[in-house]
Amino acid sequence: GKSCQEWDTQESMPGYNSTYYPNSGLTEGMCRNPYNLTTDANNAKTIWCVTSDLNLPWEECIPIGVIQPECAHGYEIGGQSMR
């Protein structure tokens, strides 16, 4: 992915900062999903951040950590070709 900018100092996407979204945890360059159903055109499926790439102003982030519970007996695959 791209490098994330700090929400309160980025200028690529004005209006996406802690002033406009005080309850969204927009701190530093952390991935978040601030979204207002009535006014936002940028609706992501998951967390995202404002990037430092002028050609790609925002990008979805891959969440860190366990997203699904661990399998009790490991992970099963369907065959040798799926390794």
Give the model confidence (pLDDT) of 11-63 as tens digits. Answer: 999 889 999 999 889 999 999 988 766 677 667 778 899 999 989 999 988 87
SS3 82: helix
- Residue 21: both structure tokens together: 């979204």
The whole-angstrom separation of Cα 83 and Cα 78 is 9
Model confidence at 76: pLDDT above 70 = no
| Per-residue pLDDT at 64 exceeds 80 | no
pLDDT at 4: 94
pLDDT at residue 7, rounded to an integer: 96
Structure confidence at residue 26 (pLDDT): 93
pLDDT of 30 reads 93
